[in-house]
Each structure stands twice: as C-alpha cells, then as structure tokens.
Amino acid sequence: ITAIEILNTATILDITTFILDGKIKALGGEYLEKIRSCRSPEEKDLMLQNLEKSLAQFDGNVNGWQDFRFYFEQIHKDFYTQLTSHAPDMSPVEQRLCALLASNLTPKEIAEITNRSPRTVETMIYRIRKKLGLASDVKIPLYLQKFL
C-alpha cells in the first residue's frame, strides 16, 4: 500500500490511527526485546511496569503529530492557513484539535487519540471557541469544516 493510496481512501481518523498505532507498536517492540532478555522474574516485572508507564504517557509524540499534519495538509491544503487567519494566537495543540474536530471526531474520540480526559478536551474546545469568537450555539465542527 502506498502513501497515495492511503491519502485517496483513508479518513483522517484512519490516518491518525495508522500513525499512532505504528508509534505504539515501535514502543512495544522495543520493550519486548528487553523483556525477552530479562533473566529474573523481578527484572521482567520491572520492565513490564516501565512499559506500562510509557504507554500511559504516550500521546503520539511530536513526530506522529507532524506526520498527521503532513497528511492532513495533503488532503486539506488551506485548512491551517485559513484557521490561522481567523485565530493567529492559536497554539499548535489547538490547531491539531481543530483539525480533529473538523474531521468530525467527538471529544471522547479525541480524548482517546490524544491521551487526555474528555473533560480536558471540552475545556480546550471552550478556549478555541473563545479564540474564534464563536457563540455557544455554534457547532465548532461545522464551523471548522468550512476551512476544509
């Protein structure tokens, strides 16, 4: 499967899942080798605890989100330009959240992808609403889809 085939058939959620899944598998593979080389059950338990902590802190790392942005821009060329013109003070994290919202992901789905609580995502959406100057009755995903 080529990158062009992915771009032509995949949704943004598919691309995000693909990128993050690859990062998690790489992380897991690294620990798997270390776990296999452990000599004692205690050492193995320690390695498993470290893996658990790493996975709990995993948020797609910077490269994964750079990959996401690259593929998103291939599909929606002017999204970030238009978004920045409407809210120049928006952070990269907020821009990423806007891209996910424009892709019709729910706050719960975004929370799972970004390893945040749904409440944190809702708070971030509230701040984005303020930066865009939107009334509370405006549906942000529909508004952001105008930039696609």
116-123 contacts at long range (C-beta below 8 A, 24 or more positions apart): 116/59, 121/97
Q: What is the pLDDT of residue 45?
A: 75
Q: What is the pLDDT of residue 51?
A: 64
Cα 22 to its chain centre, rounded Å, is 13
Residue type at 117?
Answer: S
Are the C-beta atoms of residues 134 and 143 closer than 8 Å to each other?
yes
Q: What is the pLDDT of residue 9?
A: 47
Q: What is the pLDDT of residue 86?
A: 95
Q: Which residue has the tokens 């549906």?
A: 139
Question: Average pLDDT for consecutive 10-residue bins of the chain (148 residues)?
Answer: 46 54 54 70 76 57 71 86 96 93 89 87 97 96 93
Q: What is the pLDDT of residue 6?
A: 46
Q: What is the pLDDT of residue 146?
A: 93
- DSSP labels for 129-140? HHHHT--TTS-H
pTM for the model stands at: 0.64
Q: What is the pLDDT of residue 145?
A: 92
Cα 13 to its chain centre, rounded Å, is 9
pLDDT in tens, 64-102: 677 778 878 878 889 999 999 999 999 999 999 999 999
Q: What is the pLDDT of residue 69?
A: 83
Burial readout 120-132 (b: 16 or more C-beta within 10 A, e: otherwise): ebeebbeebeebb
